[in-house]
Amino acid sequence: MYSQGLIGADGSSEETQEFLDAFQARIDAEEKIEPTDPMPEGYRRTLVRQIGQHAHSEIVGMLPEGNWITRAPSLKRKLALLAKVQDEGGHGLYLYSAAETLGVTREQMTEELLDGSAKYSSIFNYPTLSWADMGAVGWLVDGAAIMNQIPLCRCSYGPYARAMIRVCAEESFHQRQGYEIMLTLCKGTEAQKEMAQDALNRLWWPCLMMFGPHDGDSAHSEQSMKWKIKRFSNDALRDKFISATVRQAEFLGLTVPDPDLKWDDSLNDGKGGYRHGEIDWTEFWRVVKGDGVMNVERIAMRKAAWDDGAWVREAAMAFAEKEKQRTAKVAA
């Protein structure tokens, strides 16, 4: 009666075929899966991994920009950047909470991030060298995040899908504030425009890598699509991002650093699309595996922030405990 159910890239477990079929039928009927619902172990583990990586990316993603808050060129820029970085912290907390509904704890996830065993988006292991990078990060990195996350609002797992709705609204503000920084620089002096072009040159390729390996090399893609965790493949999302972004670069008067980039009418069933040059996957894997310019520094900064915040966590716990005792006394 028990079959070895193939339940995705995380391995397999003993689950009846009837159980797996019934689960798939719920997914196919576009029902949301909630924390207390039965689910295949592979579905749960895939989500723990994906939501965990997503949460870590939001948290580490605060660092390259937090770095520029004190150096923002005006009060208006400082306020917007501060608000953006705070939003990213909020996204991380939302997502840790969503992952916790699947049976992992935030402490576990934090430990994995700090001991270097957890993955997060490779883009955050690149340095932010000038103010223009704040523009390019908002425009490109948050722009890529939106492409990735809008379809996640329809993810089959309820808590993840619901978290994404607010997150996407905020990402859209982030993208606009970044693009507006770029626009200001591109309308400014020659030196400012050069700074904007330099930021685009350095961040373009790492941004394309954010969408992950080509579909054929993406281990978890097919099962994730079947379970409707993912709605579009890595390559499809990357193409969408390129199509939207190239036009924005043209409007800025900037050049996308890809000599092989060209429009091809025959792509996307005749709707057309851009062909792009070869992505350096060796660099991608090197950075993912810990050897990017900033990997060590980012984790060290994150660890310092976590350690510095220990007293806040302790105070909050002590306060919660006091409140609990007070409520118990009133009830007694």
Least distance CB 161 / Fe ion (angstroms):
16
Q: Strand 273-275 to strand 4-6: parallel, antiparallel, or no bridges (unpaired)? A: unpaired
Least distance CB 90 / Fe ion (angstroms):
8
90's CB contacts (< 8 A; 6+ apart) are 170
Least distance CB 302 / Fe ion (angstroms):
16
Least distance CB 209 / Fe ion (angstroms):
17
Region from 45-53, 55-63, 236-244, 280-288 binding Fe ion, contact rule CB under 5 A:
55-63
- In whole angstroms, give the CA distance from residue 328 to residue 326: 5
Least distance CB 60 / Fe ion (angstroms):
11
Q: Which residue lies nearer to Fe ion by CB, 133 or 142?
A: 142
Tell me the one-letter amino acid at 227.
W
Tell me the one-letter amino acid at 304.
A
**Of the residues 44, 54, 91, 230, which one makes contact with Fe ion according to CB under 5 A:** 91
65 touches Fe ion (CB under 5 A)? no
**Of the residues 88, 133, 239, 258, which one makes contact with Fe ion according to CB under 5 A:** 88
Region from 42-50, 174-182, 244-252, 286-294 binding Fe ion, contact rule CB under 5 A:
174-182
- In whole angstroms, give the CA distance from residue 169 to residue 146: 9
Least distance CB 18 / Fe ion (angstroms):
40
- In whole angstroms, give the CA distance from residue 262 to residue 260: 6
Q: Match 């978290």 to its residue by tokens.
A: 163
Region from 12-20, 90-98, 118-126, 308-316 binding Fe ion, contact rule CB under 5 A:
90-98
- In whole angstroms, give the CA distance from residue 217 to residue 235: 11
Least distance CB 245 / Fe ion (angstroms):
16
Q: HEC profile for 20-52? A: HHHHHHHHHCCCCECCCCCCCHHHHHHHHHHHH
Tell me the one-letter amino acid at 282.
T
Least distance CB 85 / Fe ion (angstroms):
9
Region from 56-64, 106-114, 247-255, 288-296 binding Fe ion, contact rule CB under 5 A:
56-64
CA distances from 17 to 4, 288, 306 (A): 8, 36, 44
- In whole angstroms, give the CA distance from residue 254 to residue 186: 8
* Stretch 4-33 residues interacting with Fe ion (CB under 5 A): none
Identify the helix (H) or strand (E) that includes residue 251.
helix 234-252
171 touches Fe ion (CB under 5 A)? yes
**Of the residues 45, 174, 193, 230, which one makes contact with Fe ion according to CB under 5 A:** 174
239 touches Fe ion (CB under 5 A)? no
Q: Which residue lies nearer to Fe ion by CB, 42 or 138?
A: 138
142 touches Fe ion (CB under 5 A)? yes
Region from 83-91, 148-156, 202-210, 286-294 binding Fe ion, contact rule CB under 5 A:
83-91
119's CB contacts (< 8 A; 6+ apart) are 53, 56, 288
CA distances from 185 to 64, 131, 255 (A): 20, 10, 14
Least distance CB 318 / Fe ion (angstroms):
31
Region from 164-172, 217-225, 226-234, 254-262 binding Fe ion, contact rule CB under 5 A:
164-172
Instruction: Give the three-class secondary structure for 5.
Output: strand
Q: Which residue lies nearer to Fe ion by CB, 93 or 261?
A: 93
Token readout for 105 is 């704890």
List of residues contacting Fe ion (CB under 5 A): 58, 88, 91, 142, 171, 174
